[in-house]
Structure formats: C-alpha cells, structure tokens
C-alpha cells in the first residue's frame, strides 16, 4: 500500500538529512530531490489508479471508524500531484538560490518536514490528525519564512506564527465541539451524524472552521499575515506558501470539511462568494499600488484565492470545476512568478520595480517565463489561467449571478494591470542594469518547466482529458453520500 509512503518518504528524508548532511548541503539536495521526485511519481500513479474510486489504508489494521485511516480519492490524489509537482521544482530551484544564504542542510530538512505535513493533511481521514499534520507543516513554514535571518524575515515569521496560532485555536475548538456532539473524529462518521445535529451546532462549528481555515487560506479579511510572509520568505518558499500551502491548509480543508463533512450549508456558501468577491477586487487594487515585486505577487495571491472561493461558493458542477482547475493553474503560474522574482533579486540584489531595467538580454529565461506567467494569471488565451477563469465566469452566469461574473472580469483586468506594471517597470524600462550573479541551470529548469505547463495546462479541460483529470475531483466534492459510503460502508 503506497499511501503511507507520502508521509514516510519526506519524514525519513528530513531525518536522514539532519543525520548525515554534516556542514554541507549536498546530501540535503540529493535526498530532497530524490524524495520529491519519488512522491510526484507516486502521486501520478495513485491518481490514475484511483479512477474515481476511494482507497483506504487503515493504520495498525484497526477498522473504521475506530481506527485512524488514510483516504485516497480523486480530490486527494489531485492535490498530491499539485503539491509534489511544485515541491520538486522548488527544490531544484533552491539548489543555487539558497546557497547565496549559505550551504545549510537545515533548509532541506525543514522543507521535507513541511511536505510531510501537507501530504498528511491531504490524506488523513481523521479530523484531529488533520490538525496535527497541519501544525507540522506550519512549524516548518514559520522557520522557512525566517530562513534568511534578516529583521524583516523575523518580523514576518513572527506575524505568521501569531496568526497561525490564532487560526489553529479556532480550528481546535471547532474539532472539540464536533467531537463532543458526535463522539468521533473520523470525518466520514462525523458526516454521517451531521443530519442529526442541531443547526446551531453546525453554525458554531462552521463559523469556527471558517475563521480558522480562512486564516490559513489568507482570503480577505483573514489576509493580514500573507503579504509580509510571502514577500519576506526566500523565493522557493514563497512559491510553496502561495502555490500550495495556503491551498492545502486553507482551500482543500475548507472544501473537504464543508462539502464532504458538513454537507455545504447554504449560509456558508454565500459567505464564500462574498469573501471571494471581496478578495478578488480589493486585493487586485492593492496589488497595483505595490512596488515590491514579491509583495505585489503576494496581494495577487489573495485575489486568485478569491476566484477559487467564488467557484466553490457557487456550488454548481461548473463552479466547482472552475475552482478545482484554477487551484491547479494558480499553483503553477504563481510559483513561476515567484521564481522569476527570486531570479531578479538574486541577479540584481533588489525587488524594487523602480530600480530594475532592461532584463531581456541579461535574464532571457526569467524575462520570457515572466511574460508567460503574467499572461496566464491575467486570464489571457490560450494560457491555462484563461480557461479556469472563463469557466468560473460562465458558472456565475449560469447560476443567475451576472454581477458576480462582471466582478470576476474586473478582477482579471486588475490582475492584468498589476502584472503589466511588472513587465513595464520591472523588466523592460529603458534603464541599463548590471547583474551581480548569473542565474544557473537549476533555476532556469524550474522556471521553464512551469512555463511549459502554463502553455499546455489548458488541455486539462479538453474532451477526453477532462473526464479523467477533473471530473472525478468535482464528483468527490459534490457527492457527500458517496464519500461516507466508500469510507465507512465498504
């Protein structure tokens, strides 16, 4: 059974790195690359083997609902591919980038520990273990945000830790309320007993989870920690935070719990739509006024999370499809943009767009891939972001919400204005600059790989591919009864 390997492999890698790495980072690099590549291969194999079904691994052979189980369905398999794909490119990118901060094995050990927590959150079928894995990922993330050991990074990590602790308290209280009402921590068993619970309990639990996981997702008004954390962290960590961590600890958990466990209460779906729309618009405006390359991207992340929440809140098959697809697309093009920002900072020593200049000849890969990522995040055809945004807009119109569709279009225009600011001021203004360091092969490979996915990623909605790649994920989200039956009624 391969499910425990998604937790065991990165955990053992983290342990071995600290055990044998010594003063250099060579073993950390080797073990991290091998572990990440192995998990990506396993994730693809697992997703293809699931084929719309559900695979259960019972820890210690204790039967459900008494034991703790790992649950692999199309949704969790899809998330595993996204997380481990971005993680592999981040590790490859880190080989050169992190060395300018020092050859230290601790970075790779913490990275593997963060990956352990995220994989655990995705796979666990127990809501308390979800909390435990979430905390493992968060503690590693706190340390990685502060990895550069500068004052701004310590401040950002402290703010992230405080807000993360507050959100975890909300979540833990919500878990306690659910356990007191249902006498179980198994998510499928909780879902089975939810119809018998008082509506007041559902509202209280939903409110606590909305606040807790909303803070993890950094949607407005829960976003205060994100701009500092994402802009201060090393570029590959910024890509992990924005590309996958806020999605796993925020969007995935919201989707899994509110749809598969709490049966999507209408009041919370409306709140998702409101939060999503506010995030799209306000963060779009805030991104435009930023001059720090990475801070602009951080605010843009909040806006793109808004699109995902809007699609989830519509709760129609088309809305969920758009949300699921945009979750993948945002992980790709936003990670690529943070890689571009990191390359610029490494080469020129600044993230200030006003101090950058003509980089087309100096950094051709960075310049070229940034154009692709900018067009993708803005929803320009034929790049991947166009298709997911278009699906969400059509879903809003089909749901009788044309105003939401117009606001989503406006948000895309704001995003286009923000990334064009990067292109015009940051990479192509008529100022000659001199690089202080050359961008290496590993960083270029990571950027080119994600740029290729931005170009061909739209094929996931093509007939014949969509039915295999996306439709099973949508079905898992919308079919609570099937989730309960497959986990408990085998």
The full DSSP string for 304-372 is HHHHHHHHHHH-SHHHHHHHHHHHHHHHHHHHHHHHHHHHHHHHHS--BGGG----TTTSHHHHHHHHH
Please provide residue 71's backbone torsions phi and psi, each rounded to the nearest 5 degrees: -125, 120
Burial of residue 456, with CB atoms counted within 10 A of its CB: 0-12 exposed, 13-18 middle, 19 or more buried: exposed
Instruction: Tell which residue, 65, 312, 59, has the closest CA to residue 192.
Output: 65
- Is residue 212 a part of any domain in this protein? no
**∠ Cα 151 154 155 (to 5°):** 85
Instruction: Tell which residue, 216, 247, 23, has the closest CA to residue 122.
Output: 247
How many domains in the chain?
1
Residue 448, pLDDT score: 96
CA distance 282 to 265: 26
- Is residue 489 a part of any domain in this protein? no
Instruction: Tell which residue, 145, 152, 160, has the closest CA to residue 111.
Output: 145
- Is residue 479 a part of any domain in this protein? no
Residue 129, pLDDT score: 93
- Is residue 319 a part of any domain in this protein? yes
- Is residue 444 a part of any domain in this protein? yes
- Is residue 19 a part of any domain in this protein? no
Enter the pTM of the model: 0.94
| Segments of the chain with pLDDT less than 50 | none
Residue 66, pLDDT score: 67
Residue 150, pLDDT score: 76
- Is residue 306 a part of any domain in this protein? yes
Q: Which domain holds residue 274?
A: 267-459
DSSP-derived 3-state class of residue 70: strand
- Is residue 412 a part of any domain in this protein? yes
Contact assessment for residue 415 and residue 378, using Cβ atoms and an 8 Å cutoff:
yes
Peptide bond into 382 cis (omega under 30): yes
CA distance 51 to 193: 28
Residue 353, pLDDT score: 85
């Amino acid at each position: 059974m391969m499910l425990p390997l998604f937790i065991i492999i990165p955990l053992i890698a983290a342990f071995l790195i600290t055990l044998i790495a010594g003063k250099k980072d060579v073993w950390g690099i080797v073990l991290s690359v091998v572990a990440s590549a192995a998990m990506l291969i396993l994730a693809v194999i697992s997703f293809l083997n699931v084929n719309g079904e559900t695979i259960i691994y019972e820890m210690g052979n204790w039967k459900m609902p008494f034991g703790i189980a790992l649950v692999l369905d199309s949704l969790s398999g899809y998330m595993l591919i996204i997380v481990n794909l971005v993680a592999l490119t981040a590790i490859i990118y880190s080989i050169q980038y992190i060395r300018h901060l020092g050859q230290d094995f601790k970075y790779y050990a913490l990275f593997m520990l963060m990956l352990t927590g995220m994989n655990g959150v995705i796979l666990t079928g127990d809501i308390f273990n979800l909390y435990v894995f979430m905390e493992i990922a968060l503690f590693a993330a706190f340390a990685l945000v502060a990895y550069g050991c500068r004052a701004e990074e310590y401040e950002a990590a402290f703010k992230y830790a405080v807000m993360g602790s507050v959100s975890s308290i909300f979540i833990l209280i919500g878990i306690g309320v659910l356990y007191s009402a249902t006498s179980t921590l198994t998510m499928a068993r909780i879902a089975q007993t939810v119809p018998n619970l008082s509506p007041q309990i559902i509202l209280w639990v939903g409110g606590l989870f909305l606040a807790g996981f909303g803070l993890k997702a950094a949607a407005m008004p829960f976003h205060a920690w994100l701009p500092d954390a994402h802009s201060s962290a090393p570029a590959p960590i910024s890509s992990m935070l924005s590309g996958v961590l806020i999605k796993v600890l925020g969007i995935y958990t919201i989707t899994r719990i509110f749809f598969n466990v709490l049966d999507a209460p209408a009041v919370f779906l409306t709140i998702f739509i409101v939060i999503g729309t506010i995030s799209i618009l306000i963060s779009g405006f805030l991104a435009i006024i930023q001059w720090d390359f990475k801070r602009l991207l951080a605010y843009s992340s909040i806006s793109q999370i808004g699109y995902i929440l809007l699609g989830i809140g519509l709760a129609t098959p088309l809305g969920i499809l758009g949300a699921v697809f945009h979750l993948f697309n945002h992980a790709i093009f936003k990670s690529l943009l943070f890689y571009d920002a990191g390359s610029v900072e490494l080469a020129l020593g600044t993230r200030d767009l006003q101090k950058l200049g003509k980089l087309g000849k100096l950094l051709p890969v960075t310049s070229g891939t940034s154009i692709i990522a900018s067009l993708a995040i803005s929803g320009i055809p034929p790049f991947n972001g166009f298709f997911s945004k278009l699906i969400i807009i059509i879903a809003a119109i089909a749901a009788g919400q044309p105003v939401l569709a117009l606001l989503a279009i406006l948000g895309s225009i704001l995003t286009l204005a923000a990334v064009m600011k990067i292109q015009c001021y940051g990479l192509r203004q008529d100022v000659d600059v001199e690089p202080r360091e050359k961008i290496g092969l590993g960083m270029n490979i990571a950027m080119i790989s994600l740029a290729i996915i931005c170009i061909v990623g739209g094929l996931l909605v093509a007939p014949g591919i969509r039915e295999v790649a996306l439709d099973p994920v949508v079905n898992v989200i919308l079919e609570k009864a099937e989730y309960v039956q497959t986990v408990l009624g085998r």
